[in-house]
Amino acid sequence: MTESVTPVVSMDAITKTFPGVKALDSVQLDLYAGQVTALVGENGAGKSTTVKILTGIYQPDEGTIRIDGDPIRFANANAAGDAGITAIHQETVLFDELSVAENIFLGHAPRNTFGLIDSRAMHEAASKLLESIGAMFSSRTKLRDLGIANKHLVAIARALSVDARVVIMDEPTAALSHKEISELYELIETLKTQGKAILFISHKFDEIFRIADHYVVFRDGAFVDKGLIADISQDALVEMMVGRTVDHIFPEREATVASDVLKVINYGHPTEFADISFTLKAGEILGFYGLVGAGRSEFMQSLFGITRPSSGVCEINGKTCNIRSPADAIANGIVYVPEDRGKQGAIIGLPIFQNITLPSLGQTSKSGFLRLVEEFKLAREYSERLDLRAASLDQDVGNLSGGNQQKVVIAKWLATRPQVIILDEPTKGVDIGSKAAVHDFMAELAAQGLSIIMVSSEIPEIIGMSDRVIVMRDGRIEVELSDKKLSPETLVRHAAGITTTPQMAEV
């Protein structure tokens, strides 16, 4: 590792103002060659704006960016690319129908003497890049044939293809499974040895402490602190980030003895899952843990009537219910808050109040005719209960932030007065402050007697929130755990299908 005194990139007193908002207020950030700097902050702290300034998408109002100590201005995204800065975004835009090599070199493919794309050279260069990051697939593979983790490798190869000196990773692990994440760590180590300066943005503290060398904390667009990861504790970092002490992130809950609400017997599907049986009590939070692809979401969507199961029975309060569509599920008191908020959750283009009342129109309307007064009343009741931040209820839901869109989706379901609410990755991509609010709210709902199924890939959340945990693997229930003192190791072992030895269970 090179000991560099001068940072590769340094941002000094950068200020960026948008109409009505000061997104960044005189912040500083240094990135060093061969080292990982973690940028930590809640949603709205200015992380995205920082990335956009570093990649030339926004121009700062004040302050200087220096590369190797020399001041520079990026007129546009190309200028930042030319300076060797590249970013891998949360959802990098790739093209399913193109080959891996074409994705990597789109826009800067090697040309032959006629000015046409030199396919041979392109594939050679792509193979070399893929090899350097440990990818096991051919450069000629169509992108759509790759899994999400391998797509991520393509995105990384694309970032490296421009011969970057600075790599920005914005929540790179959000969609990855456990194994894929550890592969990403190895890749980051490789990049470090190649002398790249890495800016790493993540909400997951275990990741930050595992791979970062430096930390920088932003809060509400202002610089708070920076230093070496080795010199700081996790609690201190969280405290700086939220500006207050977070002593316990998860709400204390009393487990209550109650009757069974939902009983699922032998649910099966030809390809996705089999032999799923469990019960859910009133006021209980049942966690579903498993690796990506374990069939959790597929099962939940089947329970919600999106796909029809090939076998199995579902009972609500002892009565068998025949669920053939989401409308049937809702009528039976089962609702589902999907993971994919943008596509399956909110209906962008419709106002907030219409989103909230959509499944409850039977309740607000009279003989099939809309009653707007009733709709506004219902929508107001639940948006205020969820502390929705909106200018008005007739505002397009697309104008809200991601967190507030999620509130609209939850409000929509609570308005139907469900008995069972299924939350699929409820806090994915949500910052730590809002996460605690979501968890508090879940505990409150459970205390009111609502039964909750929580699908989550975050171990602390599963352990902190669930009364019981079902671990799924390869479409089947691996184990049901109701021990209050669950260890993360136990969960991971079951999810990965590693047989637990007696000694391990003691740990």
Partner 1 sequence: MTETATQTRHIPDRLNSRAHSVFRSWEALLLAVAVAIFIVNSFTSPYFLNAWNLSDATFNFTEKAMIAFAMAMLIIAGEIDLSVASIIALASTAMGLAVQYGAGTTELVAIGLIVGIMCGAFNAFFVTVLGLPSIVVTIGTMSLFRGISFIILGDGAFRGYPSDFAWFGQGYVFWVITVEMVIFVILAAIYGVLLHKTNFGRAVYAIGNNPTGALFSGIRVQRVKFILFLLTGLMSGLAAICLTSRLGSTRPSIATGMELEVVTMVVLGGVNILGGSGSIPGVVIAAFVMGLVTFGLGLLNVPGIVMSIFIGLLLIGVIALPRMWSIINARRHKP
- Our finding on whether 325 is near partner 1 (CB under 8 A) is yes
- Our finding on whether 136 is near partner 1 (CB under 8 A) is no
Going by C-alpha positions, the residue among 239, 233, 236 that lies closest to residue 219 is: 239
- Our finding on whether 437 is near partner 1 (CB under 8 A) is no
Query: Which one of the spans 48-56, 210-218, 349-357, 491-499 is the region binding partner 1 (CB under 8 A)?
Result: 349-357
Site for partner 1, residues 5 to 24, rule: CB under 8 A: 19
By CB under 8 A, name the one of 306, 321, 437, 492 that touches partner 1.
306
**Looking at the DSSP assignment, which residues form a beta bridge with residue 167?**
86, 198
**At 435, which helix (H) or strand (E)?**
helix 432-447
- Our finding on whether 321 is near partner 1 (CB under 8 A) is no
CB of 305 to partner 1, least distance (A): 9
By CB under 8 A, name the one of 150, 212, 336, 418 that touches partner 1.
336
Rg (alpha carbons) of the chain, rounded to whole number: 25
CB of 282 to partner 1, least distance (A): 17
DSSP string for 75-143: SSHHHHHHTTEEEE-TT----TTSBHHHHHHTTS--B-TTSSB-HHHHHHHHHHHHHHTT--S-TTSBG
Q: Are 200 and 212 contacting, i.e. CB atoms less than 8 angstroms apart?
A: yes
CB of 396 to partner 1, least distance (A): 10
Q: Are 183 and 149 contacting, i.e. CB atoms less than 8 angstroms apart?
A: yes
Q: Are 254 and 422 contacting, i.e. CB atoms less than 8 angstroms apart?
A: no
How many other CB atoms are found less than 10 A from the CB of residue 430?
19
Closer Cβ to partner 1, 81 or 351, answer by number: 351
Site for partner 1, residues 443 to 462, rule: CB under 8 A: 444, 448
Query: How many residues in total does the chain contain?
Result: 507
DSSP-based three-state secondary structure for 486: coil
Closer Cβ to partner 1, 103 or 434, answer by number: 434
CB of 383 to partner 1, least distance (A): 6
Site for partner 1, residues 358 to 377, rule: CB under 8 A: 358-359, 361-362, 365, 368-370, 376
Closer Cβ to partner 1, 41 or 403, answer by number: 403
Site string for partner 1, 286-305 (x = CB under 8 A): ------------------x-
- List the structure tokens of 368: 């099939």
What contacts 354, CB < 8 A, 6 or more positions away? 347, 375
Site for partner 1, residues 389 to 418, rule: CB under 8 A: 390-395, 412
**At 242, which helix (H) or strand (E)?**
helix 234-242
- Our finding on whether 353 is near partner 1 (CB under 8 A) is yes
- Our finding on whether 348 is near partner 1 (CB under 8 A) is yes
- Our finding on whether 326 is near partner 1 (CB under 8 A) is yes
Closer Cβ to partner 1, 240 or 408, answer by number: 408
Closer Cβ to partner 1, 150 or 355, answer by number: 355
3-state SS, one letter per residue, for 146-205: CCHHHHHHHHHHHHHHCCCCEEEEECCCCCCCHHHHHHHHHHHHHHHHCCCEEEEECCCH
Residues that bind partner 1 (CB under 8 A): 19, 304, 306, 325-327, 329-330, 336, 338, 343-350, 353-354, 358-359, 361-362, 365, 368-370, 376, 380, 383-385, 387-388, 390-395, 412, 444, 448
